[in-house]
Amino acid sequence: MLLVLVIAGALWGIGVFTGAPRRIRWAMVGVLWLGVVALHLLLPAGHSLRMATGESAALWFLVAGAVAIVLVYRAGLRILRAKAAAKEVQVPEKGLFATAELERYARHIVLREIGGPGQKKLKESSVLVIGAGGLGSPALLYMAAGGVGTIGVIDDDVVDNSNLQRQVIHTDTRIGMPKVQSAAQAVKDLNPYVVFRPYNRRLDEAEAAALFANYDVILDGTDNFDTRYLANRIACEQSKPLISGALSQWEGQISVFDPINGTPCYQCVFPEAPAPGLAPSCSEAGVLGPLPGVVGSMMASEAIKVISGAGSPLRGEMLIYDALYGETRKFTLQKRADCPVCGGNARAVNN
């Protein structure tokens, strides 16, 4: 019997070494078991092979029965745990909070500017985040933690080792995974009461309008001007507030573009993309690791303010944060009449 166990252990070890899936390893052990049982059923009593493998087939049937009992027991435990977890995070009817949610959002609810009504607005709201990178990472985490009911994210990239210096929603074990799936896993672990919708593709002209129509607020955390202009145009057409952030080396900027409420749009302020080389990407110019965390968290704060009605969002204003010198500056964006998108161009005036 010891010989068979040694062979089974060797087969399992070979499977592990070669990276074979667990089911393949179990299949190899199963074939070995069938071979041993066949020997005992076909060979006469006292045969040397039967003596070397436990003398009787009954012993191997007992072993198989014991293994089957263990596997059934483990499968039953997994089913019970899944049912318990599903019951624990069961989302109540729309507009109502589970007891665990009230405890989770208690620090929001006691804020006079948000309170219960504001938290209810957050639960019933939906936000689309464009980009699951440096800015999208903290924005997604803090909006999910804060109780935004439905969050979508669109991105066609995969997690790369070079992302992990600043894109805190991803982990080393998820390198090679689509960023939207990595973000979905992180958000689910953080807040199971949030509905999360991952879109593993690039935002394009063909689907932008239909996608935006499903959301109340748009967050733009992209790093290319084509996508920014597209997001701005569709958000304007649908009268959706657009919260936009951008980064460069040590400096970040954020603004809320909401023309339906009298503010300029993104293209008012940036009528055309800069010439090549004037606005290098983070991979070309570098970026301070914590900077996206600061600006992305500000974007989440602006989204919560816009949805709940708290305070004064950065509508018609742009906030510049300089991490190198620990300074902030704010600019007022004044409308002008010749913007091709919203009909009200803007210029920046230093406050």
Q: Are 173 and 157 in contact (CB under 8 A)?
A: no
Instruction: Specify the DSSP class assigned to residue 315.
Output: B
Instruction: Specify the DSSP class assigned to residue 337.
Output: S
Q: Are 321 and 289 in contact (CB under 8 A)?
A: no
Q: Could you give all domains of the chain from N- to C-terminal order, each with its CATH number? A: 2-88 (no CATH), 112-350 (3.40.50.720)
Q: Are 150 and 174 in contact (CB under 8 A)?
A: no
* pLDDT for the residue numbered 88: 47
Q: Kindly report, residue by residue over 173-203, the tens digit of the pLDDT.
A: 999 999 999 999 999 999 999 999 999 999 9
Neighbours of 229 (CB within 10 A): 18
Q: Kindly report, residue by residue over 280-304, the tens digit of the pLDDT.
A: 666 667 899 999 999 999 999 999 9
Buried/exposed code over 100-138 (b: 16+ C-beta within 10 A; e: otherwise): ebeebbeebbeeeebeeebbbbbbebbbbbbbbbbbbbb
Q: Are 147 and 108 in contact (CB under 8 A)?
A: yes
Q: Which residues pair with 178 in a beta bridge?
A: 158
* pLDDT for the residue numbered 193: 95
Burial of 203 (0-12, 13-18, 19+ CB in 10 A): buried
pTM, full prediction: 0.72
Low-confidence ranges of the chain (pLDDT < 70): 1-2, 4, 8, 11-12, 15-16, 19-20, 22, 50, 53-55, 60, 81-95, 277-284, 344-351
Instruction: Specify the DSSP class assigned to residue 252.
Output: E
